[in-house]
């Protein structure tokens, strides 16, 4: 199986939700399918504001503004370190010189067993599809037939190459650290993992060939959480309309990039929807006045705020929790029963790739014929007729697959 057929999850964004930011800044960074692309960078919704119960001085307003706790970010950096460590382990197991013929075909062969697959096979400077499969990449047939549902989570820790890894990790740092500072490691950790699971689940329901790796579904979940956090905590933000408009534009651009070939836009959409619903559940803020009165001198009874949250916040919390739980359970049941949602939606495949005169959305199929000749195996690529002899004792099924790809790519 070619790594070109490995699906990936793409472009990511970042915004600055830090206090005191009176401007909106948009940064664009490049993004999973053997390719890499992080989202763009979301805007800061501006300084949180709320008139104090007895507004008097600027100092008092600043005091009210600082009532929300700030957290020290350690989980997101830990995620980055874990992703890098897993990629190094994957390259060690890949051992291109041992599993490729000839060994000199490996790119950057001076790295030894850490050298990359030939660029024709994997242009992202990474391992083979077979190695990613052994490490836990999302393969729908193994999830359905061999009940390996754990691959829905393990795939978000794997990357197709150095380019893919760097793009996603930079996006995770820009987005994740600011969110962890605002909401803490528990909520952001669950938001990241559940969004990644949701992205993998929707991807597996629509794209059931090839393999899938990458953290882009989880990263789009963080982006969706930013949007819902702005909506559910609407009353405590300044510059909210400008922030909302900018964030929506960024989301649309990133999802639009996903319709290019070799992108798994279903993972982006699934991660974004999961994160959007989770934001209403995990990122809800109490009313500013409620927080202020708990941390300031006693006030008159008529100024007291009785409820921690506004009524619309409770409504959004309940609706989002029900929709999220129902969606994840239903999707998992359908997947384990082997359902392909393309059979029930004839146009949905256009959400992940739109064919044009410049590219095709059909994955290239490579076929080889093998013939045993004594202690050697003759492999012939049926598309171009090129054949080679290889030692039979050193040609397992996964290596034969890689050799077939190499012959057909010549």
Contacts of 206 (CB under 8 A, 6+ apart): 266, 340, 341, 342, 348, 349, 352
Residue 52 token pair? 């104090």
Contacts of 63 (CB under 8 A, 6+ apart): 52, 296
Q: Considering 171, 268, 292, 320, which one is annotated as catalytic? A: 268
Tally: H helices and E strands in the chain: 14, 5
* Helix%, strand%, coil% for the chain, nearest 5: 55, 5, 40
Phi, psi of 297 (to 5 degrees): -65, 160
- 265-282 helix and 311-336 helix, angle to the nearest 10 degrees: 140
* Rounded CA separation 387/255 (Å): 42
Contacts of 229 (CB under 8 A, 6+ apart): 279, 283
Has 49 been annotated as catalytic?
A: no
Q: In what order do the strands lie in the sheet with 376-381?
A: 368-373, 376-381, 387-391
Positions of E strands within 195-341: 212-213
* Rounded CA separation 369/229 (Å): 55
Q: Considering 216, 228, 292, 320, which one is annotated as catalytic? A: 216
Residue 394 token pair? 């050193």
Has 409 been annotated as catalytic?
A: no
Phi, psi of 328 (to 5 degrees): -65, -45
Residue 84 token pair? 């890098």
Active-site amino acid positions: 216, 268
């Amino acid at each position: 199986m070619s790594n070109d057929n490995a699906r990936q999850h793409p472009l990511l964004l970042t915004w600055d939700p830090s206090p005191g930011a009176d401007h909106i800044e948009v940064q664009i960074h490049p993004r999973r399918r053997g390719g890499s692309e992080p989202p763009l960078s979301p805007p800061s919704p501006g300084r949180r504001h709320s008139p104090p119960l007895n507004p008097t001085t600027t100092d008092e307003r600043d005091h009210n503004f600082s009532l929300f706790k700030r957290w020290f970010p350690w989980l997101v950096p830990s995620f980055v370190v874990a992703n890098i460590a897993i990629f190094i382990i994957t390259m060690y197991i890949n051992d291109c010189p041992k599993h490729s013929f000839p060994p000199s075909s490996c790119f950057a062969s001076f790295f030894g067993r850490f050298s990359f697959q030939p660029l024709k096979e994997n242009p992202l400077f990474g391992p083979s599809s077979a190695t990613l499969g052994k490490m836990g990449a999302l393969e729908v047939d193994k999830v359905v037939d061999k009940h390996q549902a754990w691959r829905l989570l393990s795939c978000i820790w794997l990357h197709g190459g150095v380019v893919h890894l760097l793009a996603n990790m930079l996006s995770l740092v820009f987005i994740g650290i600011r969110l962890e500072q605002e909401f803490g490691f528990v909520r952001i950790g669950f938001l990241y993992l559940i969004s990644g699971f949701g992205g993998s689940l929707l991807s597996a329901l629509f794209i059931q060939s090839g393999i899938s790796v990458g953290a882009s579904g989880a990263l789009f979940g963080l982006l969706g959480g930013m949007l819902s956090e702005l909506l559910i905590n609407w009353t405590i933000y300044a510059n909210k309309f400008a922030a909302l408009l900018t964030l929506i534009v960024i989301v649309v651009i990133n999802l639009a990039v996903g319709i290019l070939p070799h992108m798994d836009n279903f993972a982006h959409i699934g991660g974004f929807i999961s994160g959007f619903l989770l934001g209403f559940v995990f990122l809800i803020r109490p009313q500013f006045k409620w927080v202020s009165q708990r941390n300031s001198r006693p006030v008159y009874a008529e100024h007291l705020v009785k409820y921690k949250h506004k009524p619309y916040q409770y409504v959004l919390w309940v609706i989002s929790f029900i929709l999220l739980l129902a969606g994840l359970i239903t999707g998992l049941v359908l997947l384990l029963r082997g359902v392909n949602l393309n059979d029930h939606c004839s146009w949905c495949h256009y959400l992940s790739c739109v064919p044009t005169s410049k590219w095709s959305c059909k994955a290239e199929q490579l076929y080889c014929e093998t013939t045993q000749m004594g202690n050697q195996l003759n492999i012939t690529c049926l598309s171009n007729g090129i054949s080679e002899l290889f030692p039979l004792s050193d040609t397992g099924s996964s290596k034969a697959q890689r050799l077939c790809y190499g012959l057909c790519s010549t």
